[in-house]
Amino acid sequence: MATEPVGGPASPPDRPLWLAPDGWSIEILDQTRLPHQVVVQRLGTLDQVVEAIVTMQVRGAPLIGITAAYGLCMALMTDDSDMALTDAADSLLGSRPTAVNLSHAVHAVRDAALGARPGGRVEAAYVMAATLAQREVDACRSIGTHGLGLLRELSQGRRRAVQILTHCNAGWLATLRYGTALAPVYRAVEEQLPVHVWVDETRPRNQGWLTAWELEAGGVPHTVISDTMAAHLLQRHEVDIVIVGTDRTTRAGDVCNKIGTLSLALAARDAGVPFYAAVPSSSIDWSLDDWRAIPLEERGEEEVRWIRGVDATGLRREVSPGGTASQVRNLAFDVTPSRLLTGLITERGICPATREGLSECFPGLEPIDPSTR
Amino acid sequence: MATEPVGGPASPPDRPLWLAPDGWSIEILDQTRLPHQVVVQRLGTLDQVVEAIVTMQVRGAPLIGITAAYGLCMALMTDDSDMALTDAADSLLGSRPTAVNLSHAVHAVRDAALGARPGGRVEAAYVMAATLAQREVDACRSIGTHGLGLLRELSQGRRRAVQILTHCNAGWLATLRYGTALAPVYRAVEEQLPVHVWVDETRPRNQGWLTAWELEAGGVPHTVISDTMAAHLLQRHEVDIVIVGTDRTTRAGDVCNKIGTLSLALAARDAGVPFYAAVPSSSIDWSLDDWRAIPLEERGEEEVRWIRGVDATGLRREVSPGGTASQVRNLAFDVTPSRLLTGLITERGICPATREGLSECFPGLEPIDPSTR
């Protein structure tokens, strides 16, 4: 039986989402309030779930998937008809376009409901949501163990901590537990392998500060830098390995992730530093060969214009570093072609970023004909 | 006779520094207040000049040089002894380490003063400062004309505006007139060649918004992006050419510039997009063969932690997007090795980023034995 997510948050919280005491709604950490305030929000309707995804109160590809799964469950509580199911699924699928986890999760819950005995749709949906959640946790734990092996190798013969650079937040805030890119880091800390994490600020939404918050809470040595500084650190060999997450990885091994990832991959290649993506199978799009077909979300220009934070007195405020007349563009994701990746860290092990590499890790899963989904 | 800088600013201002009506102090646009407020500040003492350079009220390698030149003049007004001259020069040279323009300008004014007739040091210093200023303006104008040729070539056969990407601010705010990287853009606008400029935000100090302010005032179409988005635009061939400025270019053609430049160069190379630095001779360090010897300024972590801007009511504020517990690093410059540059746009023409290329543009200038400086 699936066990995630259950119960309330530990104190301090160590997970971003859990089933509420009522057993059917969920509670989340509002990530738009972090790292300054720990605010728990109850989501009890489909609309609330969609809103939380769109506004990035929940974010991170695996977490978006799980949140959407519970959103569909809640919709079925209200109306378990075929039409309501389709409408709810469409609404969730349209909330954010890039993370493939969203469609995987929505389709899995939908299929579970459609396959249920009469009157059993709601229960089947909740069981599937919990199963997906548990799978995500298991995948992250496993990614951590495989990635730990890489960090161990890198630590050989070094007198200093292994220097890891990451982008955005692919920690437990973005998943449910452990994280993807950060899972090896947390495993290293458990095993007392000395590590230090360089954290890209990750403009425009500054999710690097979420990573810093996580690492601080976990007692992991780390340093925040502007995104502009990463290539310099790589050039000077102050980084031993780059590990990032992914929102959608094609079956050819191309990695779509937070905007700015491509820059890092290019800088790592030029410096001869290994560059890995941590890829749970929930983030693999088995239907896509051509990364140019990945829908890349363009978000509002206000995210670039207005920077959220707290002032010196701790009050939440937004400031604009520029004027209002200029045009602004805000693409949220980019794609790192497979040729720039040293490998993929999956829950089934580390593989080359190729179709063959992924097929060997996930035999039988690939290809899934998209028309059957 | 040198003519720059003279008179007050036009309205709206079109230069960042001019000689005050008293004929010996200078007035500057306080660039820490831009783009939100146009504040003119009088600098009348050496200490005020050093402070303005350190706090980046004046910034941009050529402008730092000219400001320092006038600072040395002011010091001589107070005391024109050898010891005072040496102390003042040392004080200016220690204000910021990376831009070689600073030491070029300080040494030129010092040498002019030392070579003057008895009692004529102050006058000789002011004449040299004005000469340096005029040379900078002439160099920028010439860089604009040479760069315009590149833009014209790129416009051949295209149905859309030439797409230029730039980093930081290398416009007239950073020089005296025209700019370095932006000079070709302004010349293109004069010649009615359609251009559009992609402006990197340029974390952590967001000087991209200074560039946006300049371009807006000049009626130049432009779009501001986060630094993280540049590689993606290059990958999609939405950029035809990258032009950046420089704080110090070695005689081997390696380009030190604002942190984040290296990333752009790597992304441009991968995408096959030409990448140029606009290099006035005042930014060339003829004494350096090895770019690893360039002193790279590390600035305070508060520049990353605290973001300056205005709130929705127009009040100046600072916000912190993150917590206070994490360590932060803030290197202000990086180096793009010559191999990544398509060429250098100098006031003497466009040359390969090589020792031979620079020597052909500047015969006789290279090498200067650093021990004679």
Residue B75 near residue B84 (C-beta atoms within 8 A): yes
Nearest to A309 among B260, B319, B327 (CB): B319
> With bands split at pLDDT 50, 70 and 90, how would you rate the model's confidence at A13?
confident
Q: Which of the residues B38, B211, B320 would you substitute to probe the A interface, choosing the one with the greatest number of A C-beta atoms within 10 Å?
A: B320
Quick: pLDDT tens for A346-366. 999 999 999 999 999 999 775
Q: Delimit the domains of chain A by residue range.
A: 3-134, 150-372
Q: Got the DSSP string for B164-230?
A: EEE-S--SGGGSSSS-STTHHHHHHHHTT--EEEEEE--TTTTTHHHHHHHHHHTT--EEEE-GGGH
Long-range contacts from B88-95, C-beta under 8 angstroms, 24+ separation: B88/B46, B91/B46, B91/B50, B92/B46, B92/B49, B92/B50, B92/B53, B92/B68, B95/B50, B95/B53, B95/B54, B95/B68
- Region B283-294: mean pLDDT is 96
**The pairing of beta strand B222-225 with beta strand A327-328:** parallel
Q: Got the DSSP string for B304-354?
A: HH-EEEE-TTS-EEEEBSS-SSSEE--B-EEEE-GGG-SEEEETTEEE-SS
What is the C-alpha end-to-end distance of chain B, expressed in Å?
25
Q: Report pLDDT for B11.
A: 57
Q: Which of the residues A56, A201, A226, A261 would you substitute to probe the B interface, choosing the one with the greatest number of B C-beta atoms within 10 Å?
A: A226
Quick: pLDDT tens for B143-154. 999 999 999 999
Q: Which H or E run includes A261?
A: helix A261-271
> With bands split at pLDDT 50, 70 and 90, how would you rate the model's confidence at B158?
confident
Kindly tell me if the per-residue pLDDT of A63 is higher than 80.
Answer: yes
* Spatial separation of the C-alpha atoms in residues B127 and B108, rounded to whole Å: 11
A312 CB neighbours in chain B (<8 A) are: 318
Place of tokens 């779009």: B223
Residue A216 near residue B325 (C-beta atoms within 8 A): yes
> With bands split at pLDDT 50, 70 and 90, how would you rate the model's confidence at B234?
very high
CA B18-B20-B23 angle, 5° bins: 110
Query: Cα dihedral sign for A176, A174, A38, A68?
Result: negative
Polymer length of chain B: 373
A319 CB neighbours in chain B (<8 A) are: 307-311, 317-319
Is 0.90 exceeded by the ipTM? yes
CATH C-level class of A3-134: mainly alpha
Place of tokens 């020597």: B359
B168 CB neighbours in chain A (<8 A) are: none
Query: Cα dihedral sign for A320, A325, A331, A336?
Result: negative
| Interchain CB distance below 8 Å, B317 and A319 | yes
Place of tokens 């959640």: A133
CA-CA-CA-CA torsion for A129, A130, A136, A142, nearest 10 degrees?
-150
Q: Which of the residues B266, B294, B340, B341 would you substitute to probe the A interface, choosing the one with the greatest number of A C-beta atoms within 10 Å?
A: B266
Rounded to the nearest 5°, which phi and psi values hold at A282?
A: -65, -15
Place of tokens 């990086």: B334
Kindly tell me if the per-residue pLDDT of A369 is higher than 70.
Answer: no
DSSP state of A291: G
Closest residue, chain B, to A34 (C-alpha): B322
Kindly tell me if the per-residue pLDDT of B370 is higher than 60.
Answer: no
* Spatial separation of the C-alpha atoms in residues A310 and B302, rounded to whole Å: 14
Residue A166 near residue A211 (C-beta atoms within 8 A): yes
Q: Is B111 among the catalytic positions?
A: no
Rounded to the nearest 5°, which phi and psi values hold at B146?
A: -65, -40
Kindly tell me if the per-residue pLDDT of A367 is higher than 80.
Answer: no
Place of tokens 């520049």: B303
| Interchain CB distance below 8 Å, A309 and B330 | no
- Region A263-281: mean pLDDT is 98
**Is cis: bond before B13, omega within 30 of 0?**
no
Nearest Cα of chain B lies from the Cα of A154 at a distance, in angstroms, of: 23
- Region A265-280: mean pLDDT is 98
Nearest to A311 among B208, B215, B318 (CB): B318
Q: Which residues neighbour A83 within 8 Å (Cβ) at sequence distance 6 or greater?
A: none
Distances (CA, A) of B291 to A83, A233, A306, B284, B288: 66, 15, 37, 12, 7
* Spatial separation of the C-alpha atoms in residues A265 and A46, rounded to whole Å: 38
Q: Report pLDDT for B44.
A: 97
B330 CB neighbours in chain A (<8 A) are: 225-226, 229
Kindly tell me if the per-residue pLDDT of A373 is higher than 70.
Answer: no
- Region A41-46: mean pLDDT is 98
Question: What's the mean per-residue pLDDT of chain A?
Answer: 94
Residue B239 near residue B212 (C-beta atoms within 8 A): no
In the sheet where A241-244 sits, what is the strand order? A349-351, A343-346, A275-278, A241-244, A162-166, A195-200, A222-225, B327-328
DSSP state of A256: E
Least confident of A12-16, A23-27, A355-359, B258-262: A12-16
Q: How far is CA B62 from the centre of its chain?
A: 5
Burial of A272 (0-12, 13-18, 19+ CB in 10 A): exposed
> With bands split at pLDDT 50, 70 and 90, how would you rate the model's confidence at A3?
very low
Q: Report pLDDT for B366.
A: 57
Give the 3-state secondary structure of residue A301.
Answer: coil
Quick: pLDDT tens for A69-125. 999 999 999 999 999 999 999 999 999 999 999 999 999 999 999 999 999 999 999
Superfamily of domain A150-372, CATH level 4: Translation initiation factor eif-2b; domain 2 (3.40.50.10470)
| Interchain CB distance below 8 Å, A304 and B225 | yes
Token pair in block for residue B327: 């360590």
Residue A26 near residue A70 (C-beta atoms within 8 A): yes
Tell me the one-letter amino acid at A316. Answer: R
DSSP state of B292: G
| Interchain CB distance below 8 Å, B319 and A327 | no
Tell me the one-letter amino acid at A41. Answer: Q
* Spatial separation of the C-alpha atoms in residues A274 and A252, rounded to whole Å: 19
Closest residue, chain B, to A208 (C-alpha): B322
Of the candidates A227, A247, A254, A285, the residue annotated as catalytic is A247
* Spatial separation of the C-alpha atoms in residues A162 and A148, rounded to whole Å: 11
| Interchain CB distance below 8 Å, A307 and B304 | no
* Spatial separation of the C-alpha atoms in residues B169 and B35, rounded to whole Å: 12
Q: Got the DSSP string for B61-84?
A: HHHHHHHHHHHHHHHHHH--SHHH
Query: Cα dihedral sign for B327, B331, B335, B340?
Result: positive
* Spatial separation of the C-alpha atoms in residues A133 and A139, rounded to whole Å: 10
Q: Report pLDDT for A366.
A: 57
Quick: pLDDT tens for A207-227. 999 999 999 999 999 999 999
Place of tokens 């500047």: B362
Q: Report pLDDT for A14.
A: 86
Residue B310 near residue B304 (C-beta atoms within 8 A): no
Q: Report pLDDT for A7.
A: 47
Token pair in block for residue B54: 């350190």
Q: Report pLDDT for B369.
A: 46
- CA proximity to A70, closest of A100, A43, A51: A43
DSSP state of A331: B
Q: Report pLDDT for B373.
A: 43
Place of tokens 């790129």: B154
